[in-house]
Every structure is written in C-alpha cells, then in structure tokens.
Structure 1
C-alpha cells in the first residue's frame, strides 16, 4: 500500500524504520515544524524529521495538518492509508477521509484503558503490572476508534517510563506492519471499543510532579519511575529543587518522620509514610545527573535533615 506517516517524537522512530523496511511504499513523512529545543533553545527538526532525512523519505512540515493547503497536497499524494504515531496534532475529519483506508494509530496502552496523551506515566503511577500496544482506526474522538490489533506486555518492577516506552515502541512497530498487511489483504478484524471500560490518561502537570514523602514507599517509587527521565519527579533540599530519576523501595520496620534523610554506607535513603526510598539517581536544579553517593559526598546531608522542605 501507498502510505503517509505522521509522527514527531522518539516513540515514532521504530515505527518509521519498520515501515521503511516493509513491503509498503512510504510516500512522505509529515512531522511538526522545527522548534526551539534544549537548554540553548536551538531550533531543530523533530526526531522523526531527522530520521526521515537519513532514510531519504520526502518530509512535509505543515504548521497545521488540517489547513486547506495541506489537504490539497495530501490529495495529490493519493495515499491508500495514513499511519500516525506520536505526532502531536489532532487530525480533523476532512483529513481522515483522504486515504482510501483512513488512518491507523499506534497507542501505548491496552485501549480502551488509558486514552489520552500520557498513558505510559499514568500506568506506572498507578502501579500497573501489565500494559501493551494497540493499533486502532482513527476517528473523530480521542483514542476511541475500532481496535484492529492489540498485544500485551508485562511491566517490569523497576522499569522507568523511558525504558518502557522503548519496549512498547519496538513492539508497536511490529504490530503496525502486521496490521497494514492485514488491511491490504482485507483480513483485518475491527473490534469496537467498550466505552464502559474506558479510562483517561491526561497530561502530567507540574504540581503532580512533586513527591509527597508521606505516601507509602511503593507509591513514591512508582511516581519517580513514571516521570523518568522526563520531566522528572521533584523534591527540595536546602531550598533547591531536585529531580529524582531512579529509586528503589526498601522495607523497614523502623518508622521515621517522612522525608527524613538516612545515610547508610554511602546510600542516600529517605523515609516515606511506610518503608523507605533509596535514591539512586537525581539531578539538582541547573546541574547534571548524579548518583545518590555523589549527592552524599557533595552535599553532606546531616542526620535528621528533611527532604522536601
């Protein structure tokens, strides 16, 4: 089939590679325009645009994919199917009807659970042990279209959002190719989503990033890994913000005031509402990523000092 690929972020990269190596023809890649990125705010193309250039695929960067100008360009391409992964724009009905087979989308959850822009961190925050990827037919709703294919994957106990995203992106790329083959031969099965089972996965807000050390250690550990490596769970020490990026739960029967720092043989440990959290990696505001041991050697926390104040 003749395909157009809509994507921008890193989650879309395995899918783009897989489609390039498939039996289908990639007519063009559509991605967000270059934008300021990083601490220096240097204007750079999206990760998808960079990969498309390496693969020699024509790239379009419309300010709005729903503009009449872009719709006319897409009609000229006359695609059989559109594929969208981590694009960042909502596609309106006039665009969705241009490809003969419409658009299919790759979503990193077992739909209809965790519809929305932040399914991976939301699943980790809630302590889910099972996730997966879903390929579904795009419609005018938010992640509401018919399910075409779905695969389950386990979530590992200490896996961060970044690590889980890599695994889901690779599995999702395989599933996209399988689904496109089924569409091309007329063998795809469509299963309507059950709205009664739907849950939401809204964007993470900055207030949600702050760690509440009064919560149980397992919940804090899930919170930290859900926000790693970006945007990072937040706490404070000596009036300075810290991003906590990797942790481990430690069971204990010795209760301490939540937030109390405990140093144990160069291990940075913080008391939680129940049990303790060992901080393995963190990033002070304006600094670089360091280990818990580096933090102890550089900041010399005193016995009884409180994290989060």
Structure 2
C-alpha cells in the first residue's frame, strides 16, 4: 500500500522505520513540522522523522499548516492510499482527511478513550495509572475521537518516567501500526467506535506544569516529577534560582513542607506527608549531578526551604 507518513519527534521514528522495512507498504512521502531552532546553539534542525526520510531519499513536506493549498495539491498528486500518523504535532483539516481512500490512521499512546490529547503518557504517569498502551484509530474532525482499529497494553512500572514509558510504547506501537495497515489493506480489520465511558483528556504541558508543589503528598510529588521527565522537566526554586529535578525516592521521615535537610544518605525535602530524597539535580548553567554534590557545593544553610 502506498502511504504518506506524518510525524515529527523521536517517538515517531520507530513507526516510520517499521513501515520502511515492511515488504507490504511503500512510503512515498513524509509530512513533518518545519525545521526549527533548537538547542543552546540555537541552530536550525530537521525533525527526527525528516532526518530518517532524508536517509532513505523520501520526499519530505514541511508546510507551516497542512491545509495550505500547495500541500493539498501535492498530496492529491501523490495519491497515497493511506496516511499513517504518529505525533505529527498539528491538527489535520477536514479538507485533506478524505484524500487517501483508507483515510488517516493515527497511532496514539493511550488506551482510548482515556487520555485524548497531546500528552497522554505524561497524564497516565501523573494519574498513577497502572496500565497504559497505544491505540490505532481513524482520524476524524474531533480530538482523538475516531473509531479504533487495535490496541496494545503496557504496564507502568513504579520507576517509569514519561520518557522511558514513551520509549517502550513507541516500539510496541510501531508494530501495532504496521499490522493495522496490513489489516486495513486486506480488508480484514474494521474500526470500532470508541466507548463514551472513561473519556479523559491530556492537554499539552507548559513549562509551569513542571514546578513541584511540595504541599502535595509525597506520592503525588513523585508521580508529577516522573510525569514531566524529560519534558517539560521538573523544577523548584532555591533562593529564587531554578533547580531542575530528576526522579525522587519516597522516604519515611517527616519534614516541614519544602524544608531541605542534607543527610549522609542524600538530600531530603518535606512534602504534605513524608519526605522525598532527591536524585539528580541541575543547577542553573550546570550539568545534571547527584543532589548531594549540589548541596555540598551550594553550602545550603540551616532552614533552607524550596518553593
């Protein structure tokens, strides 16, 4: 089947690679977000999906909006039979949804109808879900509301961050997407409408969502930090300076909310319940380092409180 793949970040790469390796499907083009400025050097970079397409000599399309007349014309001329989508990063207008005969099929990293939206993996970790997964569904006008072709499940380990969980889902989901396209081509797989029960939403997370609220229970603090790792990243303020935080460990001792105590076994911070022990931290302008190394260098005074 002739397909145009739409995707942008690293988690979309395994799915594109799976389709490139499939003997049943021909990737005739890639739709991705425009090159963007990134990193400390502020260099213009291609998306990970575009870089993989370049390696294979596949035409890459980077319209500012996918509804632009020029891209609509290009898509019509390419005449793909189906357009698989993984984390493309922009809404697809109705005017292009009907161009491929088999439609646009999205790989979404949740068990729909749970966690529709831009940050399903982060939401699942933050909510304390024990099981998550990925779903393939046909895109329609609503936000992740289309009928579902197939699902896979994945256990959320207590040590999982959004990053590690997404890495696992990106690979198992790639296989799900490839087999979904096989079934669609064969006519043996048919989409089933989503349930109207259990609908939840996971909007895109702004940097402010990574600010740790120490007045929450320790369990919630730990989940939130893992949910925003690696992006948008967890942080707190120490003497008005932003300190980035890696995942923390729950401990049994109690401290006042936000109070910092440096011990031989690590740096403890009080929450609404028991304390947590910091793992890796990153002070402004420095690399990630063990929390004890940071605390000794910062020479934290008695009574230090994070905000």
TM-score strictly above 0.5: yes
- The 2-side partners of 1:9 and 1:28 are apart by 16
Quote the residue 2:21 is aligned against. Answer: 21
Quote the residue 1:242 is aligned against. Answer: 243
- The 1-side partners of 2:7 and 2:209 are apart by 27
Quote the residue 2:3 is aligned against. Answer: 3
Q: How many angstroms does 1:196 deviate by?
A: 3.1
Q: Is the 8 A contact 1:282 1:292 kept in 2?
A: yes
Matched, 1:305 2:304: yes
- The 1-side partners of 2:283 and 2:55 are apart by 36
Quote the residue 2:292 is aligned against. Answer: 293
Q: Is the 8 A contact 2:255 2:275 kept in 1?
A: no
Question: Any residues of structure 2 matched to 1:174-213 within 5 Å, and which?
Answer: 174-213=175-214
Gaps of 5+ in 2: none
- After superposition, give the CA deviation of every residue in 1:183-235 in whole Å (9 maximum; x if it has no partner): 11101131101233211111213333221112111100001011111211121
- The 2-side partners of 1:230 and 1:285 are apart by 17
- The 2-side partners of 1:295 and 1:272 are apart by 20
Gaps of 5+ in 1: none
**Aligned residue pair count:** 306
- After superposition, give the CA deviation of every residue in 1:64-101 in whole Å (9 maximum; x if it has no partner): 21112111111111111001111111111111101110
TM-score, normalised to structure 1, is 0.96
Quote the residue 1:227 is aligned against. Answer: 228
- The 1-side partners of 2:274 and 2:161 are apart by 21
User: Secondary structure at the residue paired with 1:246?
Assistant: coil
User: Secondary structure at the residue paired with 2:157?
Assistant: coil
Runs of 4+ deviating beyond 6 Å: none
Quote the residue 1:127 is aligned against. Answer: 128
- The 1-side partners of 2:233 and 2:291 are apart by 16
Q: How many angstroms does 1:300 deviate by?
A: 2.3
Quote the residue 1:96 is aligned against. Answer: 97
Question: Any residues of structure 2 matched to 1:154-193 within 5 Å, and which?
Answer: 154-193=155-194
Q: How many angstroms does 1:266 deviate by?
A: 4.9
Quote the residue 1:113 is aligned against. Answer: 114
User: Secondary structure at the residue paired with 2:235?
Assistant: strand
- The 2-side partners of 1:191 and 1:282 are apart by 45
Q: How many angstroms does 1:63 deviate by?
A: 2.0
Quote the residue 2:256 is aligned against. Answer: 257
